[in-house]
Structure 1
């Protein structure tokens, strides 16, 4: 069966990449049509993707689903706030997801919904476990900002699953994708000429390889993979290790007021980070991916260390001036 796929947020680098790759698969690869939707024009060519300029917070999204006979919705339009746009982004994350789910609930054609979620749903806290499995809840760090948004988004998706149990729901909680062509807060941070760090902390970080991320999405689209799954390369990279490999000077800052001080330092250096990233840079976060391997059926091909090393080789001063994405 060929899938007719709607991808949200295609003005963003990840959703645009996914939509293009899916369209390239064509009917022989199990994809009959790819429709991309966003309020803004994509920055580059989407190839064989049919672009619709529309807002998922409005009833228009339901019309798009009906007109295009969409049977699979890939929701990638959930993002952290960017400088000067935090309110609008939060509304898009939460209200946009609610309206999109309402449109899917009314649809007679939608049979699969895939949420591009984030490991940020686990928050970040000094009381965190060594590794988060999919059944664990956040200990702290989800009371505001993007982590709070993603918790709410997932709760709405669970509600939709109860109302439409026949629809296959796949939730993918990914660590940040680290790739020079994909926007992410850690890509911005590591591309900065200096790296603010918290005195007395050396957080453990994980990354997701872009190829792995797409392969997981592709399998979720073409096959039935219901459930919630963590995605992250095996192993961890300490912030101190990353700084040494990048050759970036580290600026130690006190824990109290770190978020404000770090953003000032980065802005002075011509960069910026989302306000939620400071907790990750303090406590770190590690997720368990056993369910992805044992239940979903995909074994990640790239470790977090290898993903970071490929990113390190690709970046040069000034090559990434302003990127942001999932925290």
Structure 2
């Protein structure tokens, strides 16, 4: 029998795109998509099975399909309304005492207490336990930075779509992004590597080169920021969630306060993946797909630079 690939989370845009792409791999004979809800987008020639991966019956699905490769893209296994498709680098958390750069072996200073990040930590724990029990099975864990692009559908993309971006007063966090096309490509490489004998197991950070400050992001979007004290931002996030505007969760607020940057040497040297898009190029494509903001980016940048110059001049005599 040829290679049979089973993919979870196919009702989400990224999962659907991966299913359509993996079918073009000449080594793949059969693709099965699994999700708790029926996808609204096409899956090409892939088979679809409606199943909840949290239910023990998923073991029977794996046995009956004869899948030899499983690509798990639905970390929390809940319906689309949960908005769960966020960065798995969230396992590192975001805290004031964090290192400048996280490697795959860096323990988080503060473990996530809830939300998607906590789910991801727990899933990785299950995966590590499975890998210890089954050394004959290659297990590859990809920790993605925030995935963005023209088709991005995530709470962070919704935040960037707000006409004015609420930020935490006194903080300008560093952010990393990975383009959705690069996410598809690295998933394909990771799924094929064990079969081709080029990789056994491992955990890899996945992100585009470079970083962007939140202030740079707002200028490139042409959207002004609204600096608020942290308790006010937290209150605003609760209001936005209750109104269904965006999932401005506590973990996202922490990330937009302290930022998060990961090392990607293992991605390049061991996994052999080199992203086509940098962090800045990824965000440029995303911003272009969203159209102009309230203010032209060039005018906003000039205004911010002039304001920074005025503030520096006022501070100079006292220094």
User: TM bucket by the smaller chain?
Assistant: 0.7 to 0.9
Alignment of 1:100-139 (within 5 A): 118-139=88-109
Q: Which residue of 2 aligns with 1:18?
A: 18
Q: Which residue of 2 aligns with 1:277?
A: 252
Inter-CA distance 190–85: structure 2 relative to 1 (3 Å threshold): closer
TM-score under structure 1 length normalisation? 0.81
Q: Which residue of 1 aligns with 2:69?
A: 72
TM-score under structure 2 length normalisation? 0.83
Q: 1:144, CA displacement in angstroms? A: 2.0
Aligned length: 288
How far apart in 2 are the matches of 1:77 and 1:260? 29
How far apart in 1 are the matches of 2:281 and 2:79? 28
> Secondary structure at 2:140's aligned position in 1?
strand
How far apart in 1 are the matches of 2:265 and 2:114? 29
Inter-CA distance 317–63: structure 2 relative to 1 (3 Å threshold): farther
Q: Which residue of 2 aligns with 1:103?
A: none
Q: 1:186, CA displacement in angstroms? A: 1.5
Which of structure 1's runs of 4+ aligned residues deviate more than 3 A?
79-86, 265-272
Q: Which residue of 1 aligns with 2:290?
A: 315
Q: Which residue of 1 aligns with 2:180?
A: 210
The alignment's C-alpha RMSD in Å is: 2.6
Q: 1:81, CA displacement in angstroms? A: 8.6
Residue 272 of structure 2 corresponds to residue 297 of structure 1: yes
How far apart in 2 are the matches of 1:175 and 1:272? 18
Unaligned runs of 5+ in 2: 294-319
Residue 37 of structure 2 corresponds to residue 40 of structure 1: yes
How far apart in 1 are the matches of 2:223 and 2:30? 44
Residue 112 of structure 2 corresponds to residue 142 of structure 1: yes
Q: Which residue of 2 aligns with 1:3?
A: 3
> Secondary structure at 2:7's aligned position in 1?
strand
1:178 and 1:209 in contact (8 A); partners too: yes
How far apart in 1 are the matches of 2:208 and 2:30? 30
Q: Which has the larger radius of gyration?
A: 2
Q: 1:175, CA displacement in angstroms? A: 0.3
